[in-house]
Structure 1
């Protein structure tokens, strides 16, 4: 039921082995060797919050919602797993469907009728059983394969290049083309992974309305939403958030914007009935460690200073990447305002060719094929300014040799 994820297998070990990392998208600080120091450098010496508020309460306060809408998870991947599983079991009173068939492994897309593409079983025939999920394309591979692993039939809708705008009519057309008036959930990322496009809360509300009309939930992975030059909302660490919209579930974590992936702390924010069911689902995979919870509370106790540090790095790295792309005649692809990553296309080489040449020179970039965009490569700046400048210079030398 749970096939290997090609992207995660490919990326495993590469950031540590690369001389120059333009593949990792979190805003990280230098880390100590594994096990040498359990407290991340970013949190070392910081005080815990006063009082006894739970981590769920602190997350709820950040998003401006009631605590009963928040479920704390072991990272964003765990949150997305719980959210998808909950969407499939909610109508059955949180009872898992034991007879769900598994969708197939075809991750391709079709731009007809808004970009719908049916899942297929192992024999190549369309699998009509199980709930239906709709996932953006291009898109992050685990968000495509997770619903299939849970027994859903996955359809796709396209966010058209190069801007990758999120269009409600594309969602509507893909649901209709799938041959059913109901959908369990529609999954999107904001910022979009891999292009970095940022949608407003109003835009997300329009899509949520379409999804609700088809009896489903909009699932929004917001791990990149806070990547902005200035706060655009007073909630969700300053990024546009869909939290609190009807029929909408958002997921987030401390990994990307906060650079604290080692803690494995994430969350989902959902309508109360969804969150209640999600807690029942989560009980099947308990994995949130108490030391991680305690350290996560330090971030919330020092929220303003730490968020300002991350935003400063976002702005700096966005500027470096945008300037790099603007200065080259062989690269195209927007670098959206405030984003330190983007999907870039070379004028003569596809994403795999660019990534292979870069890797041979010790530079890590991610082939776009892992997102359904094989003509491009995702380039991400997560390090400090000096590290990012060196990495871009090395990548430029690779491109000069293509």
Structure 2
């Protein structure tokens, strides 16, 4: 079963450690006024007020911003505009499952870019350069990486973008988790779209800000890419929902309150997870860059799917199997639950690990 289908329909349990972002926000979390509801669409390709908010926050020209219905739509559109059917896209591996599926749907040839656990999931520039020499026309990365949470620095992005630009290739980066590094890991706020002209960036108000129900995402790129993106939008949703755009504008006006909400969740969950990891000798973790999820390496030979099934059946606990990302010896664990709930869920993982040894 593909990841998103599983994420939507799997049986819920007492200790649900499957999320990758903050819990859904309420209107009160950013003092939003839902009334009167706006039903009239403003602008032709996105509400100009929303576009201006996004552009100001990420220090990019307003003309480079295309609002779309969520980051998933943005990723699909980015792949559709970056290269043509039959051309080659290099996609990071392990990867968020819908990315590879979207590329296949668009009839792109996909080659993997290995991000190895033994190398802390780093991106090797020489691997990208080798792919570009073999005809890769676009490279797709996530930053922070999903599922490992590892950070691509601004300098690394500049190097990768330059290598792509040398052969007129595009660099697509999903940045839905990158603001977590700014909020929790002392990174300056930045976007790859401001680093190089051949970058296409996707983002949304979902993972860090808890507003997935609005389905507000955006794409940031150079004028040629944004022109194509608007053409693709005309074939898909045509317009963005006016009520969602209006609420998103209010969210950006009080974004610090949503940032603080994410910061509190991380500040609560991260120490609990690190304390557990310190005492759990059977698994391996990785450095945190501010995300509300952690990637955990299992004992040799242990299946993440079998572990999760056992957790559900015996311990009323659930994690995300790494197999959904092509990572067959890891699990992804949410640290977003309240401290006591998280600690108990982690303790149950420890029990399940020993059951399966």
For the criterion TM > 0.5, the same-fold answer is: yes
1:393 maps to 2:347: yes
Question: Of 226, 229, 236, which aligns to 1:285?
Answer: 236
Q: Is the 8 A contact 2:32 2:250 kept in 1?
A: no
Query: What's the CA shift string for 1:9-65, capped at 9, x where partnerless?
Result: 222223x712111111110147xxxxxxxx6453454699xxx95211111111101
Q: Is the 8 A contact 1:344 1:379 kept in 2?
A: yes
Q: Is the 8 A contact 2:30 2:257 kept in 1?
A: no
Equivalent residue number for residue 264 of structure 1 = 215
Distance 1:59 1:210 in 2: 28
Equivalent residue number for residue 245 of structure 1 = 195
Alignment of 1:171-320 (within 5 A): 171-176=128-133, 179-180=134-135, 183-228=136-181, 229-235=184-190, 241-246=191-196, 247-286=198-237, 288-320=240-272
1:79 maps to 2:63: no
Count of aligned pairs: 338
Distance 2:19 2:31 in 1: 23
TM-score, normalised with respect to structure 2: 0.88
Q: Is the 8 A contact 1:134 1:155 kept in 2?
A: yes
Query: What's the CA shift string for 1:274-314, capped at 9, x where partnerless?
Result: 11211111111116211111111111111122212212322
1:376 maps to 2:334: no
Equivalent residue number for residue 21 of structure 2 = 26
* Structure 1 unaligned regions, length at least 5: 31-38, 90-99, 101-129, 236-240
Equivalent residue number for residue 291 of structure 2 = 339
Distance 2:151 2:267 in 1: 15
Q: Is the 8 A contact 1:263 1:296 kept in 2?
A: yes
Change (3 A) 1:53 1:304: farther
Equivalent residue number for residue 157 of structure 1 = 113
Q: Is the 8 A contact 1:69 1:272 kept in 2?
A: yes
Change (3 A) 1:45 1:175: closer
Between structures 1 and 2, the one with greater helix share = 2
Displacement of 1:333 = 2.8
Distance 1:64 1:44 in 2: 25
Structure with the greater relative contact order (CA < 8 A, sep ≥ 6): 1 or 2?
Answer: 2
Query: What's the CA shift string for 1:207-248, capped at 9, x where partnerless?
Result: 11111122111100011112232441144xxxxx31212200
Partner-residue secondary structure (3-state), 2:100 = helix
Partner-residue secondary structure (3-state), 2:29 = coil
* Structure 2 unaligned regions, length at least 5: 36-46
Q: Is the 8 A contact 2:17 2:334 kept in 1?
A: yes
- Aligned-residue CA RMSD in angstroms? 2.2
Partner-residue secondary structure (3-state), 2:213 = helix
